[in-house]
Amino acid sequence: MKIMKFINKIIFFYYREYKLNLSGFQDILTNIIFFFISIFIFIFSIGPDKETISLIGVGIIWTLLLLSSTLSLRKFYQDDFENGNLLIIHLNGFSLGLIAILKTFSHFLFVQVPFLLSIPIACILLNIPIDKLIYLFASFGIGSLTLSCLGSISSSMNLMNQRNFLLGSVIVMIFSVPIIIFSVGIINMEENFNSLINILFGILLIVFAINPWASGLCLKLSLENN
Amino acid sequence: MKFLVNPNKFNEIADYMFKPVLFLSIILFTLGLLFSFYLSPDDYQQGSTVRIMYVHVPSAWLALLTYAIMTFYSIAALAFRIPFGFIFNTAVAPIGAVFTLICIISGSLWGKPMWGTWWVWDARLTSVAILFVIYLIIIFMNLSFENRNVREKVVAIFILVGSVNLPIVKFSVDWWNTLHQPATISKLSKPSIDPSMLTPLIIMTFAFMMIGIAIAILRIKTEIITRKTNLS
Amino acid sequence: MIIVKNLSVERLNKKIFENINLSLVSGDITILKGKNGSGKTTLLKTILNIIEPSIGSIYWKGKLLKKNLYDFYSNVTYIADKTSSLRKLTVKENINIWKRFFLANIDNTQIETALKTLKLDKYLNQKIGALSLGETKKLEFLRLIIENKKVWILDEPLSNLDEDSIELMKQTFEDHCAKEGSIIFSSHQNPGIYVTKEIEL
């Protein structure tokens, strides 16, 4: 009975997140537009040579995915923190670590998944062969969940930082270096697919394990000193 | 050893430790520079450029050592509630950053004649560059939070999260087949370096360590005073 | 139910308050009085175990609060001095979100009457951004009915309210106490509400 209640609460947490994100859907769309415009700019600056573009296309997609997902980091906890909803959720029986996990998945669902869905279009624009799409999806799926975890850590660290918000993006970018190295490697070395995806998955598990601890502690600190 | 965790004890010890440490570092520096410029042989392959090693290797070691000590202090401060750890982290991060910067600059000066390029993207160089950026982020975090209570703890958490980079820096030359040569000096086996080169290297390491400790003493004392007077 | 024993809170080597003793049994209305910056919000947050006290301890139903935290949380409603309703959504959507999130088994007629007494029923389909400060404040109090919990912890509930609403709050407080609930709230002015205990900070 208690467990059913708890599951219900989690479901309605996501109902709330869904309502919130639906009302701010133009923000997510703006992110995606930013993503595509940046692809255009990349192509214009390199020149429309098909061979070159398809050679570095995956790198471009990954870089821009990283940049545009750090754009929405500010929304991660900031709104809920400032209007006191974080506290209300906590008082409703969620520990802060659990809130961090739930929020991470919600960021993955409502911010990263739209990017994942727009990847096939980006592939067409960048001349990446369609049979490589499956590798791309595998690496992007794991990589973007890792990015969500990192985003949770960095944005919870910067809740009380009013002066220098770009620091949060820098933190995400510095820790995402290994993810980018391995996931771009997947496309160029398909025979190594299994080992590389295992490494990516290992990184995801490490970050996923650190995430509730680090974010929970930072959230507690920020709530305490607000 | 109480002065390593207690600010008041540290102040007492530091007062009469500072001058000897500074003096020792000056002596070691003169001795080390003498050794590395005049009393050590040229390498048969690298010629005179091998002398860059006497700056490069000690600063690299100390950059790693500083971060490792900061990690230990962060654990102590967060888990056992020892506030001296926070003081130490705030004070020592710039010193580590400077060591890393010296290591990177001397390394690229060494790389130009040896590898023919200032910079290559191999695992060791990249991970050291990331270490430098992590140091910079720590410094910027210390500057940008208004509330000290939040700031010191968040920085400690960040140091702990960033410490995953340390083993990558250390073992990158063993894990990946890189341009950077693997370690020549390790505890377990006999060093594959000639004693005539090992002596100046060790003297220089101690000289770097002493000057680091001297600056650290000054910075930690300043930090303790700042906290006592509630200036930040 | 709640017992606070010589509580002191310190921040950045600065004492905010010290030696607070308080006990809250069912049917109590406790008021925290004090000037701006005297630590009323801090005390309320300390009771909610968000801020760690430097000295002292808090008990809930005879056990240490820390060991019994989520049982305490399932019995308490906290309303901060902020508008926690989501600005982009309408009043109706906000109420729906709360109703589901707190798993309230409350029927719509009850909420409608509450909205009518708060004079908010005409705004039902408007966004929160269109409401005035006092009206969002009143909307916050709807959470008291939705959550339906025993202990109410309210931070400055009477600021920004007009006289009719204060009268209404008085009524609500007395009703809640008659149902064996207990209230602790902070205020910087004299509200004229019947209270059983007073604490000066």
A23: which chain C residues are within 8 Å (Cβ-Cβ)?
A: 86, 88-89
User: B149 vs chain C: nearest CA distance in angstroms?
Assistant: 7
Asked if the Cβ–Cβ distance from A9 to C101 is below 8 Å, we say yes
Q: Which residue has the tokens 């467990």?
A: A3
Say if A195 is an interface residue toward chain C (CB within 8 Å).
no
Which residues make Cβ contacts (< 8 Å) with residue C192, sequence separation at least 6? Answer: C166, C170
Q: List C-alpha distances in Å: B117 to B107, B110, B124, C125.
A: 11, 9, 15, 67
Among A137, A132, A135, smallest CA distance to A117 is for A137
User: A224 vs chain B: nearest CA distance in angstroms?
Assistant: 9
Residues in chain B: 232
User: B148 vs chain C: nearest CA distance in angstroms?
Assistant: 8
Quote the ipTM score.
0.90
User: A167 vs chain B: nearest CA distance in angstroms?
Assistant: 7
SS3 call for C127: strand
User: C12 vs chain B: nearest CA distance in angstroms?
Assistant: 7
- When mean pLDDT is compared over A211-215, C4-8, C107-111, C115-119, the highest value belongs to A211-215
Say if A12 is an interface residue toward chain C (CB within 8 Å).
yes
Strand order in the sheet with C182-187: C76-79, C151-154, C182-187, C29-33, C197-200
A24: which chain C residues are within 8 Å (Cβ-Cβ)?
A: 88
SS3 call for B46: coil
Q: Which parts of chain A sit beneath pLDDT 50?
A: none
- Number of inter-chain CB pairs under 8 A, A vs C: 63
Which residues make Cβ contacts (< 8 Å) with residue A41, sequence separation at least 6? Answer: none
Determine the residue among A152, A172, A175 to mutate to test chain B binding: the one whose Cβ has the most chain B Cβ atoms within 10 Å: A175
Please give the full DSSP string across B76-116, using - where no structure is assigned: HHHHS--THHHHHHHHHHHHHHHHHHHHHHHHHHHHHHHHS
Going along chain C from its start, the domains and CATH numbers come out as 1-75+154-201 (3.40.50.300), 84-148 (no CATH)
Could you tell me if B223 and B91 are in contact, meaning their C-beta atoms sit under 8 angstroms apart?
yes
Q: Are strands C197-200 and C29-33 parallel, antiparallel or unpaired?
A: parallel
Asked if the Cβ–Cβ distance from C89 to A23 is below 8 Å, we say yes
SS3 call for B13: helix
Domain count, chain B: 1
Confidence of residue C32 (pLDDT cuts 50, 70, 90): confident
Say if A7 is an interface residue toward chain C (CB within 8 Å).
no
Other residues' Cβ atoms within 10 Å of the Cβ of residue B169: 20
Model's pTM, two decimal places?
0.90
Other residues' Cβ atoms within 10 Å of the Cβ of residue B28: 19
Q: Which DSSP symbol is given to B47?
A: B
Asked if the Cβ–Cβ distance from B148 to C13 is below 8 Å, we say no
Q: Domain limits at B120? A: 2-228
CA distance A131 to C185: 64
* Number of H-type helices and E-type strands within chain A: 11, 0
- pLDDT tens, per residue, chain B with 232 residues: 788 888 888 888 888 889 999 999 999 999 998 988 888 877 777 778 888 889 999 999 999 999 999 999 999 999 998 889 999 999 999 999 999 999 999 999 998 888 888 888 888 888 999 999 999 999 999 988 888 888 899 999 999 999 988 998 888 877 776 677 777 666 556 667 777 888 888 999 999 999 999 999 999 999 999 888 876 5
Q: What is the pLDDT of residue B96?
A: 95
Minimum CA–CA partner of C45 in chain A: A224
Q: What is the pLDDT of residue B210?
A: 94
Give tens-digit pLDDT for C131-169. Answer: 888 888 888 888 888 888 888 898 888 887 888 888 888
Asked if the Cβ–Cβ distance from C88 to A88 is below 8 Å, we say no
Asked if the Cβ–Cβ distance from A84 to C84 is below 8 Å, we say yes
Say if A167 is an interface residue toward chain B (CB within 8 Å).
yes
User: B154 vs chain A: nearest CA distance in angstroms?
Assistant: 6
B149: which chain C residues are within 8 Å (Cβ-Cβ)?
A: 11-12
Asked if the Cβ–Cβ distance from A170 to B133 is below 8 Å, we say yes
Among C186, C170, C200, smallest CA distance to C47 is for C186
Give tens-digit pLDDT for A29-42. Answer: 888 899 999 999 98
Q: What is the pLDDT of residue A137?
A: 86
Name residue C7's beta-bridge partners.
Answer: C20
Asked if the Cβ–Cβ distance from A224 to C51 is below 8 Å, we say yes
CB < 8 Å from C in window 90-109 of A:
90-93
Say if B181 is an interface residue toward chain A (CB within 8 Å).
no
Say if C12 is an interface residue toward chain B (CB within 8 Å).
yes
Asked if the Cβ–Cβ distance from C13 to B149 is below 8 Å, we say no
Q: Residue A194: enclosing H or E segment and its boundaries?
A: helix A193-225
Helices (H), chain B: 7-34, 53-79, 84-115, 123-144, 148-162, 165-175, 195-228
Name residue C59's beta-bridge partners.
Answer: C3, C64
Q: List C-alpha distances in Å: B67 to A4, A107, B55, B60, B182.
A: 47, 32, 19, 11, 21
CA distance C136 to C139: 5
Which residues make Cβ contacts (< 8 Å) with residue C23, sequence separation at least 6? Answer: C2, C3, C4
CA distance C37 to C33: 11
CA distance A211 to B218: 36
Which residues make Cβ contacts (< 8 Å) with residue B60, sequence separation at least 6? Answer: B99, B103, B107, B128
Q: List C-alpha distances in Å: C72 to B160, B214, C64, C78.
A: 33, 52, 10, 12
Name residue C29's beta-bridge partners.
Answer: C183
